[in-house]
Amino acid sequence: MSQRARIIHGTAVSPGLAVGPVHVARTQAQRVTTWSVREEDVAREVERLGQAIQTAIDEMVRRQRLVAAQASEKDAEIFAVHRMVLQDPGALKQVESVIRDQRVNAEAGVQALIQRLQASLGKLEGDSVRAYAADIADPWRVVLDTLLAVERAEFLSSESRIVLAASELTPEAVTYLERGRLLAVIAETGGRFSHAAVLARAFGIPCVVGLPGLIGRLERGMPIAVDGDHGTVQLAPSPADVRAFELRAESRAARQESLRVQANLPAESTDGRRLGVLVNLESLRDLDMFRADHTDGLGLVRTEFLYMERPQFPSEDEQFRLYRRVVERMTGLPVTLRTLDIGGDKQLSYFKTPRETNPALGWRGIRISLEWQDLLRVQLRAALRAGTGHDLRLLLPMVASVEDVTLAKSILEGVRQALAEQGYDQVSEVPLGMMIEVPSVLFTLPEMLKHVDFVSVGTNDLVQYLLAVDRDNPWVAKLYEPQHPAVMTALELVARTCRQAGKPSSVCGDLASDPALAVLLFGMGFDSVSVAPNFVPGIKYAVRKIAHAEAREMALEAVAAQDCAGVKRVVARCRERIA
Ligand code: PEP
Ligand code: MG
């Protein structure tokens, strides 16, 4: 393969450069990942297969004894049959030849056998014959489970740092390993604004997607150079390539560092106007990733991610402690807690929302909170208690109508009263804001602003609803275009309407994390942006380089653009201006 062919171009999802050995992950339970193995590693795969078969046989013996003791010898006989299935030399030969001939992992070999058994099962006639054939595949499933479990356990207990390759960018892929071990994530498919992408950026993990056929070209352990700035992936770079890549990474890190040392300065334009730069928080661990006094506070605490880090709903007291840690860490700066925003692809393992044909248009965000009001009440109680003596603000996700806000407000009022009657300390004032994510809000904004104290635009969702493009659907990922004239028009409308009403406006969607776009938002009249911690220094630097009047001129040009290309030209100019 030529050197050129080994550089694949995809879509940049999360910036940064990383080089390291690749590990192909199985991040979807229903899929068995296939990866190529080097000639010299084939024997190791055959050995893994043999060990897994032996473990499965031992498991059959254990099950046979158990059933014989608890039921009867006759009932337990099936496991003796299963053992014989696994000892059939013909089946073993078939799996081994897949491993050797195709040079693939043991899991893929076993999966091929299971598929063959299932296919032959379809051709059989009669229920009892079919049931027998199904039994033949079953013991091999135990072998497959064993291989997968052993491989994952071994991998988790090692300390290797890897580039993770997955067929799809999912939240599981981004959280597959602790962050220090995950050098980068690359995936065949995935959306740039999916929740998984948001997580990758928040965690500072370089990420590239849109790489069809990637997995088939990887050999386990092969070095990979990932350029999350430009969206390229280099397979098996030469030592000279690796060195050149490392040099680029070092100079990039030096640039980042020079921005970081100026991060204490405010984002004040050359003509003296300020943009608030706040932080989006996904996890308590992120509290240690930035200096609170280099920011203007937390503009978005995605509380659902705090809920995801535990095995069941946190109690009121547990939530109180979580939120208290957050407000205390921010020492008097604003902390904007968003009420639980689950549903769609943000699922809690212990609270399954129903399967929906259209989850993005379904039961999610405030819709769940207003129906399961006790969940909301517990969260509000904990938040109000934790906010005592601090600048706590509450933010409602996925608001679509005035009624959503008025109902939430009446619940909040009830909770405040109950806390007071029960003698709890609580925050003295709590501004209530709403997210602008649903387009209906754009057309009713002056009325809605009478009911809230501030707004924050969630562009990740607003773009998906404005353009009718599912942010999590890889098939339409190319159509998800934040730099669209309709998006610019909507944003400017929000900023202008809020100014007229005297209500602060912010953008907390990922669009704001691009310094050039943050400058345009500043020009439109937004008071603040809220972004993952690692984007704060770059945005502050960009705002300090420009006059508000110039930012405004460019913003209005972006709004007046005829098409996406027109918006992109303005953004490119802005990028050059702040470079
Ligand atoms: C958004 O939609 O832009 C947003 C900030 O919320 P989330 O990404 O958590 O849906
Ligand atoms: Mg959202």
What CATH number should be reported for the domain holding residue 64?
Answer: 1.10.274.10
Confidence grade of residue 35 (pLDDT, cut at 50, 70, 90): confident
Residue 128 confidence (pLDDT):
59
For residues 132 and 199, state if they share a domain.
no
Q: What is the Cα–Cα distance from 537 to 121, expressed in whole angstroms? A: 61
Whether 27 has a pLDDT exceeding 70, the answer reads: no
Residues 228 and 146 in one domain: no
Cα–Cα distance, 224 to 577 (Å, whole number): 33
Asked whether residue 60 falls in the same domain as residue 151, the answer is yes
Name the β-bridge partners of 526: none
Question: How confident is the model at residue 1, as a pLDDT?
Answer: 39
Most confident of the following: 42-46, 83-87, 99-103, 551-555: 551-555
| CB distance 198 to ligand 1 below 6 Å | yes
If asked whether residues 531 and 390 sit together in one domain, one would say yes
Give residue-wise pLDDT tens across range 247-304. 999 999 998 888 888 889 999 999 999 999 999 998 887 888 889 999 999 999 999 8
Specify the DSSP element, H or E, that contains 24.
strand 17-24
- Tell me whether residue 1 is in a domain: no
Q: Please state, in angstroms and rounded to a whole number, the distance separating the CA atoms of residues 361 and 437.
A: 12
**Residue nearest (by alpha carbon) to ligand 1 atom 9:** 302
**Quick one: pLDDT band at residue 398, thresholds 50, 70, 90?**
very high
Q: Decide if 79 contacts 67 (C-beta within 8 A).
A: yes
Catalytic residue among 207, 390, 498, 508: 508
pLDDT band at 343 (very low <50, low <70, confident <90, very high): confident
Taking CA atoms only, the protein residue closest to ligand 1 atom 8 is 460
For residue 304, which ligand has an atom nearest its CA?
Answer: 1
Share of the chain above pLDDT 70, in %: 96
Q: Does the structure show a pLDDT above 90 at 25?
A: no
DSSP 333: S
Is 207 an active-site residue? Answer: no
Q: Is residue 372 part of a domain?
A: yes
Identify whether residues 398 and 546 lie together within a single domain: yes
State which of 194, 229, 255 marks the end of a domain.
255
Q: Does 91 map to a domain?
A: yes
Q: Are 519 and 512 spatial neighbours (Cβ–Cβ below 8 Å)?
A: no
Instruction: Say whether 195 is catalytic.
Output: yes
Please say if the pLDDT value at position 57 is more than 70. yes
**SS3 at position 344:** coil
**pLDDT in the model for residue 2:** 41
Residues 6+ apart with CB under 8 A from 102: 108
Claim to verify: residue 515 and residue 501 sit in the same structural domain? yes
Q: List, for residues 507-534, the tens digit of each pLDDT value.
A: 999 999 999 999 999 999 999 999 999 8
In a domain, residue 14? The reply is: yes
Specify if 2 maps to a domain. Answer: no
Of 157, 188, 219, which closes a domain? 157
51 shares its domain with 25: no
- Name which residue leads in pLDDT, 154 or 439: 439
Query: What's the pLDDT tens digit per position in 171-182?
Result: 888 888 888 899
Q: Is 282 in the pocket of ligand 1 (CB under 6 A)?
A: no
- Give distance in angstroms: CA of 471 to centre of ligand 1: 10
Number of domains in the chain: 3
402-421 vs 373-386: helix crossing angle, rounded to 10: 60
- Report how far ligand 1's centroid is from the alpha carbon of 542 (Å): 23
Is residue 47 located within the same domain as residue 125? yes
Residue nearest to atom 4 of ligand 1 (CA): 458
Q: Quick one: pLDDT band at residue 30, thresholds 50, 70, 90?
A: low
Structural domain range at position 57: 40-157
Check whether 125 has a pLDDT greater than 80: no
Place of tokens 């071990």: 181
Tell me what the pLDDT averaged over the chain comes to.
Answer: 91
Which of 157, 188, 207 terminates a domain? The answer is: 157
Indicate if ligand 1 lies below 6 Å from the C-beta of 509: yes
Asked whether residue 483 is domain-assigned, the answer is yes
